[in-house]
Amino acid sequence: MFKMQKMQMSDARAEKGRDVQAYSSDSQVVEKRIARAEKGRDVQAYSSDSQVVEKRIARAQMLEGSNSAKISCVVLDWAGTTVDFGCFAPLDAFIAAFKAFGITPTIEETRAPMGLSKRDHIKSMLNEERISRLWQEEYGQSFTGEDIERIYKAFEPMLFSTLEKNDAIIPEVLDAVAKLRQMGIRIGSTTGYSKAMMVIVAHVAKMGGYTPDCLVCPDDTNGIGRPFPFMLWRNLEALGVASINNVIKVGDTVADIAEGKNAGCISVGVIRGSSMLGLSLLQYESKSSAQIVSLHDAARHKFLGAGADFVLEDIGELPGLVRQLNEERK
C-alpha cells in the first residue's frame, strides 16, 4: 500500500463545486452557462465565434450525465515528474546563464523557483536576497526587465544544448500511465518549458514510449505559466473534462502544487526523481535506506507545507491513489 499524506479537504468547497471550466454535470449550472454563452459572455469559450461556442455547449451537454465526482483526468508535469530524473537540464542551464553575467547562484537558489516559466524563474532568482545584492554590486543598480531578457537569451541556447541528453523517461512512468489509461483516465500535462523546448522534450519522450493526451505550455496561455491555473484549465477544455473536481495535478515542485491548488483540484507531489529531492538516478541509488528515508521525509514536509493534498514516494503509486479516491467517491 503506498504511503501518502492526505490533507483535510473542505466538503463545503466540494459542494460549491470548483468547476471553472463551465462543463458542470449539474443541469442548472449547465443551463445558466449555456444562456451566458448565448449572450456572448461565456469566458470559458475563449472565443466569440458562435460555432466554437456551440461546440462547447454540445460538449457540456454530452458530459452532463457523467459522474462528476470521480477522477477522470490526471495532469502531469514534465521535467522531474515524467522525464529528466532530478530535473537537471534547466538547473545546469540557469547556473551557466547567471555565471555569464558574473553571478554564481547556488543549487538551492537555482532550484527554488523550479516549475515556473523560464523568464519568471530568472526573475525569481534575481529577486533572491543574495543574488540581488550581488547584481547590485556587479552592475551598480537593481536588475531591470531588459536584464531578465538578456539572461534568458543566454539561458535558452544553453538549455537547448542539454535537453535531449537529459530527458530520459523516469522509471515507473510508462507503467503508471498504462495503468491509468486502462482505468479510462485521460493524461494531460503542463510545463514551464516553451513550445520550442517541448518540441525536443516531447519527441524524446515519444521515442521512449510516453505521449500524454494533451500538452499545454505557457505559450498557449499568453505567456502566463505557474503558479497561475490557466495551463491546467486549458487541459480540461482540450480533453473535455466535465469538472475541475475530476482532476488530479501531479508534479515535483512547489509551483506544481500551487498550480493545482489555484486551479481548484487535488494537488499531488512526487518525491523520487523530483527537483525537490534534487538527485540524479545514480546519486539516488547510491544512498543508503536510512538516507533515502530522511531525504523523502524532508521533501514530503516541503510538499505538504506548500499545500499538497497527497505526497507519493514515486509516480508508480499514482494509479493506486486514483483507484482509492474513486472507490471513496462511489
User: So what's the pLDDT on residue 58?
Assistant: 54
For residues 273 and 208, membership in a common domain is answered with yes
The reply to whether 100 and 228 lie within a common domain is: no
Task: Looking at the structure, tell me whether residues 262 and 301 fall in a common domain.
Answer: yes
Instruction: Report the number of distinct structural domains present in the chain.
Output: 3
Whether residues 178 and 316 fall in one domain:
yes
Q: Is residue 220 part of a domain?
A: yes
Residue 93 shares a structural domain with residue 58: no
C-beta of residue 265 within 8 angstroms of C-beta of residue 249: yes
142 found inside a domain: yes
Q: Does the residue 4 lie in any domain?
A: no
Of 251, 254, 220, the C-alpha closest to 234 is: 220
Query: Residue 12: pLDDT band by 50, 70, 90 thresholds?
Result: very low
The verdict on residue 223 lying in a domain is yes
What are the grid coordinates assigned to 323, written together? 483507484
List the catalytic residue out of 19, 70, 118, 314. 118
- Out of 109, 144, 165, a domain closes at 165
Identify whether 314 is a catalytic site residue. Answer: no
Q: Model confidence at 16, in pLDDT bands (50, 70, 90)? A: very low
Question: Percent of the chain, pLDDT > 90?
Answer: 76
The per-residue pLDDT for 23 is: 34
Is the pLDDT confidence value at 79 over 90? Answer: yes
Residues 192 and 313 in one domain: yes
Contact between 169 and 205 (Cβ < 8 Å): yes
Does 292 share its domain with 186? yes
**pLDDT tens-digit map of 22-52:** 333 444 443 444 344 444 434 343 344 555 5
Distance CA 102, CA 110 (A): 15
220-254 per-residue burial string, b: 16 or more CB within 10 A, e: under 16? bbeeebbbbbbbbbbbbbebbbbbbbbbbbbbbbb
Alpha helices by DSSP H, 85-144? 89-99, 107-111, 118-127, 129-139
8: left (phi over 0), alpha (psi -120 to 50) or beta: beta
Examine the domain organization and report whether 217 and 302 are in the same domain.
yes
What is the structure's pLDDT at 18?
39
What nine digits make up the cell of 120?
519568471
Choosing from 77, 120, 167, 314, the catalytic residue is: 77
pLDDT in tens, 208-217: 999 999 999 9
Query: Residue 33 sits in which domain range?
Result: 26-63
pTM attached to this predicted model = 0.78
Instruction: Give the tens place of pLDDT for each residue, 96-113.
Output: 999 999 999 999 999 999
Contact 260, 233 (CB under 8 A): no
Residue in 149, 155, 236 with CA at minimum distance from that of residue 190: 236
Q: State which of 165, 198, 225 marks the end of a domain.
A: 165
Q: Please indicate whether residue 80 or residue 68 has the higher confidence score (pLDDT).
A: 80
- For 81, the grid coordinates are 515528474
**5 falls within a domain:** no
> The domain that contains 256 carries what CATH number?
3.40.50.1000
The reported pLDDT for the residue numbered 300 is 98
Residue 68 included in any domain? no
**Spacing of C-alpha 58 from chain mean position:** 29
222-264: pLDDT as tens digits: 999 999 999 999 999 999 999 999 999 999 999 999 999 999 9
What is each CA distance from 179 to 67, 76, 186, 320, in whole angstroms?
20, 15, 11, 9
For 41, half-sphere exposure in the C-beta direction (CA atoms, 13 angstrom radius) is: 5
Closest among 192, 299, 250 to 71, alpha carbons compared: 250
Share of the chain above pLDDT 70, in %: 79
Task: Answer yes or no: is 1 within a domain.
Answer: no
Digit-coded pLDDT (tens) for 152-209: 999 999 999 989 888 899 999 999 999 999 999 999 999 999 999 999 999 999 999 9
Say if residue 61's pLDDT is above 80. Answer: no
Q: Same domain, yes or no, for 246 and 190?
A: yes
Sheet bearing 186-189, strands edge to edge: 186-189, 73-76, 247-251, 266-270, 310-312
CA distance 65 to 109: 48
Place of cell 492526505: 6
- Assign residue 144 the CATH number of its domain: 1.10.150.240
* Mean pLDDT of the residues in the chain: 85
In a shared domain, residues 197 and 297: yes
- 180 part of a folded domain: yes
CB-CB neighbours of 29 under 10 Å: 17
State the average pLDDT over residues 128-153.
97
Closest CA to 260 of 297, 316, 311, 223: 311
pLDDT band, residue 301 (cuts 50/70/90): very high
Annotation says 249 is catalytic = no
